[in-house]
Amino acid sequence: MIYLGIDVSKLKLDCTLLLDPENDKRKSKVVPNSRDGVHELVRWCAKHGVMADQAHAVLEATGPYHEQAATTLHDGGIAVSIANPANVHDFSRAMAMRSKTDALDSLVLARYGVAMRPAAWQPPPAHVRELRALITQLDALSKDRLRTMNRQEKIEASSASELVERSISDTLSFYDKEIARLEKAIDDHIDRHPDLKDDTKLLSSIPGVGPKVARTMLRVMRTHQFKCAEDLAAYLGLVPVQRQSGTSLRGRSRMSKAGPADVRAKVYMAGVVASKHNPHVRALYQRLLAAGKTKMSALGACMRKVVHLCFGVLKTRQPYRPDYAFST
């Protein structure tokens, strides 16, 4: 297998084809970050004797910018791996890479592939990608509406003109109508696809997981491949990070907070509700408080528990059972 490291940016893809890792024989190319650019990259690989079934591309997860390239490569028959940026950063430090350029980053990704042999990525189905797009747009509009409401409060406290007040009021009315339309579109989309409908029912069976959290967790879990609940918690930045070295450094554990902050914010609210109304999460919260943990530390554990429960109901295909006995 020949590894192809691709550093992704908004407009271009910096690529390194590592033909012979031991002798550092490699070829480099820059192509546009577009479907035509990816097709050009595939032809370039073939020109150097690397056919699609011989290549394994390694990209970092970079939000929306890597998805088109990864999907087009996969459709072209090239194996694709999506690497965690934090893992690649640690690997780069281990290689003593002091400089940082797009070309060097693509080389690091190719060598990361050779050393780590990352698992191949599978793109989510079309109906899951559509759900993700709908939820992403709904979240964006909800944030815009909140900003507009904050602006309205400031305007009401000042002597703004009537025209400005009317403009803000009309803007809020537009957001309300569009948010309601998108929420209906999401519900209809889920109802049209039995797999999404079943998953939503399973997630909603967990006390503390409301419709918004259920949709968000469904989006995350159906668009990524997690082997276990701990991997899902790590992706959301909910795992504890410790700093300890010998006897001189004994820092307090903290939440990693890596990954999507907007998803973590929704899980936080689910954790707060679950600590009061979910039997297993409530027992965990009370036990940690009794052990001397702070409320925020205990809530962090509740957030992880909610994520584990979400993973569990989809893994087992069984709804949440309040009487199910397992360790908290």
Query: Is the distance from CB of 190 to CB of 130 less than 8 angstroms?
Result: no
At residue 327, the pLDDT reads 45
Tell me the pLDDT tens digit for each residue of 175-206: 999 999 999 999 999 999 999 999 999 999 99
Q: How far apart are CA 180 and CA 165, in angstroms?
A: 23
At residue 252, the pLDDT reads 66
Average pLDDT rounded to a whole number, residues 76-104: 89
* H or E element in which residue 173 lies: helix 162-192
Query: Is the distance from CB of 211 to CB of 120 less than 8 angstroms?
Result: no
The type of residue at 150 is: N
Residue 88 CA to its chain's centroid (Å): 16
For the chain, the average pLDDT equals 91
- In the structure, what pLDDT confidence band is assigned to residue 249 with cuts at 50, 70 and 90? very low
Average pLDDT rounded to a whole number, residues 233-252: 70
Burial of residue 235, with CB atoms counted within 10 A of its CB: 0-12 exposed, 13-18 middle, 19 or more buried: buried
Lookup: tokens for 297: 């530390």
At residue 328, the pLDDT reads 42
The type of residue at 105 is: D
Return the CA Rg of the chain. Answer: 23
- In the structure, what pLDDT confidence band is assigned to residue 245 with cuts at 50, 70 and 90? low
| Sign of the four-CA dihedral 80, 86, 92, 95 | negative
